[in-house]
């Protein structure tokens, strides 16, 4: 499923929280579209992994990476001795003001394996974020 980075998040049913937050898409990639590539700052992937430990909007199915071999099954990510499955949920990252970023958990894989470079404002928000198991949508 593709959504342009920093476009308004409009997935699923209406939520009252959408009246409180300006939610923006980040990391919804598709092989039919090009994406920015580059290196993320030191410590960024550690912070992203922490966000992926506390997903929201858990789905019943999963999305596979369209950039990997078709043999790849449900993607698993590993960091500091911990493993988690990605591709079936989302994360939320608070930005400045009333901005929140909505990303698929697969974003971690996109960054690590395919050098996806998220927008600078998202990178700054992730590095500045406080991670909580209560980061719900």
* pLDDT digits 0-9 by tens, 15-71: 666 667 889 999 999 999 999 999 999 999 999 999 999 999 877 777 788 888 766
The predicted pLDDT at position 90 comes to 94
**Which of 100, 109, 93, 108 shows the shortest CA–CA distance to 23?**
100
CA distances from 81 to 41, 77, 78, 97 (A): 21, 10, 7, 35
Cα distance between residue 24 and residue 122, in whole Å: 10
Per-residue pLDDT at 137: 47
> What average pLDDT does the segment 126-133 reach?
82
Point out which residues pair with 101 in neighbouring strands.
Answer: 24, 93
More confident position, 131 or 45? 45
Q: What is the pLDDT of residue 73?
A: 64
Could you say which DSSP state residue 8 is in?
Answer: B
* Nearest by Cα to 34 from 66, 61, 70, 72: 66
Task: Pick from 82-86, 94-98, 116-120 the range whose average pLDDT is largest.
Answer: 116-120
Each residue of 97-119: pLDDT tens digit? Answer: 889 999 999 999 999 999 999 99
Q: What is the CB neighbour count within 10 angstroms for residue 67?
A: 15
Closest CA to 98 of 19, 6, 13: 19
Higher per-residue confidence, 53 vs 72:
53
Cα–Cα distance between 57 and 12 in angstroms, integer? Answer: 9
Please give the pLDDT value at position 10. Answer: 80
What is the C-alpha separation between 17 and 35, in angstroms, rounded?
29
pTM above 0.85, yes or no: yes
């Amino acid at each position: 499923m593709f959504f342009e980075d920093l476009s308004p998040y409009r997935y699923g049913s209406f939520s009252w929280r959408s009246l409180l937050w300006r939610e923006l898409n980040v990391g919804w990639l598709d092989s039919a579209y090009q994406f920015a590539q580059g290196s993320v700052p030191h410590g960024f992937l550690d912070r992203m992994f922490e966000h992926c430990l506390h997903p929201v909007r858990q789905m019943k199915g999963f999305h596979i990476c369209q950039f990997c071999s078709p043999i790849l099954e449900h993607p698993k990510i590993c960091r500091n001795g911990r493993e988690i499955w990605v591709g079936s949920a989302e994360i939320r990252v608070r930005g400045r003001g009333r901005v929140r970023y909505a990303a698929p958990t697969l974003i971690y894989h996109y960054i690590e394996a395919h050098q996806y470079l998220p927008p600078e404002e998202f990178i700054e928000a992730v590095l500045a974020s406080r991670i909580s198991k209560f980061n719900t949508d």
